[in-house]
Amino acid sequence: MRHGLGSLVGVLCSAYCSTTAWVSPTAFSRVTQVRGTSRTCLNSAEGNLHGQESCFLPLQQLDQDYYAPRIVQIAGSYPGLTKEDFFAVSSEPPAEVGQWMYDFSDPEGPQMGTVAIEGRNSIGSCEDPVVIIAEHPSLGVELPPVIKDPVDIVVLVDRAANTFKERTFLVLEKPSSGLDIRAFEAKTDLPEGSQILGQVVLVQIPWLPSMKPTKSGFMEEDEYF
């Protein structure tokens, strides 16, 4: 089961609690009374806290416009995916900007795989995201000719965007052939009797050793120009 942002204390207490990702600095510095005086719960014999005896945690504070990777359930593989498969998995709201999410398996739901999608505004704006794993030829994606075998690509679909949009790839259910992913110039071009189940938001392609490396702009580092 997925839950909201939570402090480490909240997670350890219960896998089903929901809290924000930030906590008061006093949450991890419990004060106890020792011989009539107060001190932190750890002394030099028990180890140090952050900032004590030149010991420092590798801290990183998220920016206010940081989009955390979004964890999305995988509905199945394409082609061959059915409408029932497509709607069998659930989705959760994205993390608040500047914070993150915890992910827990749902003991009541189907145990499907998940994949983390790079955080950005368009991903966070998906109302009901789901992932389809497709082989690149099935969508007409071209890869270097040296790659002969089909390559799995990640197709992120927003099921809430179940309306027509020109030249946008749609997930359709056709009466005779099941689910299909296609784009159309006009709504009148849609196959008769088809139903729009969602719009493709992002297709993620892996980097393979046979592909050209990303150019850095420095001749010393780039192999291709």
215: in domain: no
Decide: 143 and 117 in contact? Cβ < 8 Å. Answer: no
Total structural domains in the chain?
2
pLDDT along the chain (225 residues), means of 10: 41 36 40 38 65 80 84 92 92 83 67 82 92 92 89 93 94 88 93 94 87 66 46
Token pair 């909201």 is at which residue?
A: 4
Q: Are residues 20 and 102 located together in one domain of the fold?
A: no
Instruction: Give the domain extent around 99.
Output: 70-204
Span 105-160, pLDDT tens digits = 666 666 568 888 888 889 989 999 999 999 999 999 988 888 889 999 999 999 99
Q: Are residues 123 and 200 located together in one domain of the fold?
A: yes
Cα(186)–Cα(42) distance, integer angstroms: 68
Q: How far is CA 166 from CA 174, 183, 188, in A?
A: 18, 7, 11
98: in domain: yes
Token pair 């990702």 is at which residue?
A: 21
210: in domain: no
Instruction: Look at the chain and count its residues.
Output: 225
Cα(119)–Cα(220) distance, integer angstroms: 31
213: in domain: no
Q: Are residues 190 and 107 located together in one domain of the fold?
A: yes
Read off the pTM. Answer: 0.66
Cα(163)–Cα(196) distance, integer angstroms: 6
Q: What percent of the chain has pLDDT over 70?
A: 69
Q: How far is CA 109 from CA 17, 22, 85, 103, 116, in A?
A: 19, 29, 13, 14, 19
What's the confidence (pLDDT) of residue 214?
Answer: 65
Coil, strand or helix at 84:
helix
193: in domain: yes
